[in-house]
Structure 1
Amino acid sequence: METDCTRHEPPANGGVITPLPAGTRLLHIGPHKTGTTSIQGAMFAVKDRLGAYGVDWPATTRHPMEAALAACARPAMMGDTVPTDQHWTRLLAQVQASGKRTSVVSSEFFADAEDDATIARIVEQLGGDRVHVLITLRPLAKIMPSQWQQYVQNGLRMGYEDWLTHMLRKAPYEKPNPSFWRRHRHDRLVERWVRAVGPQRITVVVVDDRDRGGLMRTFERLLGLPENLLQPVPDTANRSLTLAETEMLRNLNKEFRGNGLPDELYSKLVRNGAVMHMKNACSPSPEDVKISTPGWAVEAAAELGAEMVGRIATMGVRVLGDPALLSAVPPPPVWEAPAEPRVAPEVAAQALYGALAAAAAAPVRHTAPAKSRTVHQTSSRELMRVLGHRCLKKLRGH
């Protein structure tokens, strides 16, 4: 259904959504784990066809992440390329070149903008009163496991239930990931952007996971695109990790951090080497143990969802979809004896190969003659530190 305190349109599920005016700068800010990657992939795949319908995808990539991070004055993910103002100004120039066509900019990292001044600047630079903000939302209980394993992919060492305890029970709920509630306290996220553009220029879309193509159909109608133009683009690199894969990586993170290895090395060999290759080469099977959220956390997330829905309903923004989904408590799963999460040998081999392949991308150079002490006489901690720094030196040289 559609709920709207200021406009009276037919229900969204009935198929009638008022398209945005031509020339709109549609800014899709996510947040994370709400279908952003699927929309970005689908829009980028038909980038060259959008002009026929008066729509532009100004970014030269599927996801202009560096531009969004630069705009929000946020740092890069661990070990990644540092975003600069040039990334942002280049995207702004491409948006301006859209002229009277509707321009679509999508990055979940815009949800990380911390203050009103930053948000106001982003809106003004993108086109001021031509900007319409689109926010996609999913239930917290579905977001939490996805975000935890994503944080682990970026170096987190904390277990899932411990992480949930910190996020839900330990005020001020900022450790170990202060970005989580900046993104996922959805009522406050909507409120921050309402202060910049007003309620009339914000659309909130509640994503219904039961309707696989629903989000794409909503985008098509908002942009005046033909139905079914946007189609899913397979992206194995964006799949979530299984519990066993996440635990393997989390324990690797402990060793990595405990030995003081540099972030750049983690980015190249682990996140963009081992993890990326593992996700591309191995698909989870039905037997793989998924990340399961304990009942107390599901209930706490549903209570927060209800509170957030209540506040959003008072803001006067357009809401497409069923807000009740954000506070629904899923039925408890049929009890089964808990299976022990195990990493299949093939998965471990692919992860190891990915790290080795990333290391092999740097040419091996002649080093000084080995000193008298052998590898077997060196502690594992010192050995990891030496190997890590040597590998990083080779990668930088490359």
Structure 2
Amino acid sequence: METDCTRGDARVNDAAIAPLPAGTRLLHIGPHKTGTTAVQGALFAAKDALPAHGVAFPAHSRHPMEAALAACARPAMMGDTVPTDKHWLRLLELVEATGKATSVVSSEFFADAQDDATVARIVEQLGGTGAPPLERSRARGRVHVLVTLRPLARIMPSQWQQYVQNGLRMGYEDWLEHMLRKAPYEKPNPSFWQRHRHDRLVERWVRAVGAERVTVVVVDDRDRGGLLRTFEALLGLPENLLQPVPDTANRSLTLAETEMLRNLNKEFRGNGLPDELYSKLVRNGAVMHMKNACSPTPQDVKIVTPLWAVEAAAEIGAEMAGRIGSMGVRVLGDPGLLSLAPKPAGDSAPAEARIAPEVAAQALYGALAAVAQAPAESASAAKARTVHQTSSKELVRVLGHRCLKRLRRR
């Protein structure tokens, strides 16, 4: 679960964080694995309390992912419904309806905007979709971009397992070789450096809004509440209004879980099965149920980054921190953390990663339950719920009915 935070209590280097002007449209662009889920969950949970303080969270869900993907003209995750302009336009309407309140839009997928033209369009539309040409410059001035950053060495293992959840079949060390040693560093995941070459990411958005309207928050993993306190200070909210919301569905997979899924991906692709089946049965079935039903234990083997890759990431992090520091943007937190190079603990050989029988059983059950949840001729309340919200007895009953029905047809 992404709950890593910046240090401090609304103060940086002994200076209080100045809140953004009233009426600002704050665009939090992530990128991935930098505390975005914690921020989105806390803002959504406090949605009804925010207007009393002149702040709005204009979204119908915790994370308006489809809107961000549509705005950036990016594809959906493997097998998911393709986002359309309607998703983005609907979010813009909600933002426009906030009037003079400060509004917050948060999605790590905005970091996937590939070029200056896309970034400029997003800023212009978010600033004021219906603004006349002469007022567009002033409308763009309402947009303030917030970037949250963590050390690259901490992002890489988490991002790799996330790519595996979207169908990646490459092992971790192989993947690191491609990302760090094999120019042009675009295979198998070109989105990685689009998101995580953080200096270039910040630079793209500075060109759209100006350095004075970009804030970079350096995340410090040692402080579990600081990131939310920083958001409160920037938005002028009372301290502790934003609280962490547990989200087991967002936890990272262990090494064994990731390897199980990676090998399943090989079989899935090798047999030419449709992407829609992967989305329904694997990512939103087996994996989702496994995450919700099973929590990692101290005995589970973590994904460990080899020392050569940690050192390479630290070198890139130092370079990125230096470039960001020269751009004139506001930086909250310690930029030195971006070149953090954590050393592997101990000298002993890593333990063998083995999937626990109960974890495998929950993954298999999740896939079966997803079949039972699939839409049939007649909809019901049970079918509308997600797998982990439906009782085992109910899912087995539905699955049994469908199997019997198909057998009778045959």
> Is TM (by shorter chain) over 0.5?
yes
Specify the alignment match of 2:182 in structure 1. 170
State the match for 2:305 in structure 1.
Answer: 293
**Partners of 1:244 and 1:89 in 2: CA distance:** 41
User: Does the CA contact (< 8 Å) of 2:153 and 2:340 recur in 1?
Assistant: no
Q: Which secondary structure does the structure 2 equivalent of 1:47 belong to?
A: coil
> Aligned-pair distance for 1:334?
1.5
Q: How big is the shift at 1:11?
A: 5.6
The residue aligned with 1:199 is 211
What amino acid is the match of 2:235? L
Give CA-to-partner distance per residue, 1:118-171, whole Å, 9 cap, x none: 100000001111000000000000000000000000000000000000000000
Residue equivalent to 2:383: none
Aligned to 2:41: 41
Alignment of 1:231-270 (within 5 A): 231-270=243-282
SS in 1 for 2:317: helix
Q: 1:361 aligns with which of 346, 369, 373?
A: 373
Deviation at 1:185, TM superposition (A): 0.1
Q: Distance in 1 between matches of 2:233 and 2:373?
A: 45
Q: Report the counterpart of residue 53 of structure 2 in structure 1.
A: 53
- SS of residue in 1 equivalent to 2:144: strand
2:182 partner amino acid: K
Identity in percent: 83
Runs of 4+ deviating beyond 6 Å: none
Letter in 2 for 1:142: R
Q: State yes or no: 1:118 paired with 2:130.
A: no
How many pairs align? 359
Gaps of 5+ in 2: 1-5, 128-139, 378-402
- Alignment pair present for 1:77 and 2:64: no
- Equivalent position of 1:91 in the other structure: 91
Superposition deviation, residue 331 in structure 1: 3.2
Shift of 1:13: 5.2
- Which residue type is aligned with residue 269 of structure 1? L
TM-score, structure 1 normalization: 0.88
Measured in 1, the distance between the counterparts of 2:64 and 2:321 equals: 30
CA distance in 2, matches of 1:11, 1:61: 30
**Long gaps (5+) in structure 1:** 3-9, 366-390
Q: Matches of residues 1-398 of structure 1 in structure 2 within 5 Å?
A: 12=12, 14=14, 16-127=16-127, 128-362=140-374
Aligned partner letter, 1:67: A
CA distance in 2: counterparts of 1:345 and 1:289, whole angstroms:
15
1:12 deviation in Å? Answer: 1.2
Match for 2:286: what amino acid? A
RMSD of equivalent CA atoms: 1.6
For residues 95 and 288 of structure 2, the distance between their equivalents in structure 1, rounded to whole angstroms, comes to 31
User: What is the SS of the residue equivalent to 1:136?
Assistant: strand
Q: Deviations over 1:73-106 (max 9, x none)?
A: 0110101111011100010011011111000000
> Cα deviation per residue 1:50-79 (whole Å; 9 max; x = unaligned)?
000000000110000000000000110101
TM-score when scaled to structure 2? 0.86
2:48 counterpart SS class: helix
| Aligned counterpart, 2:391 | none
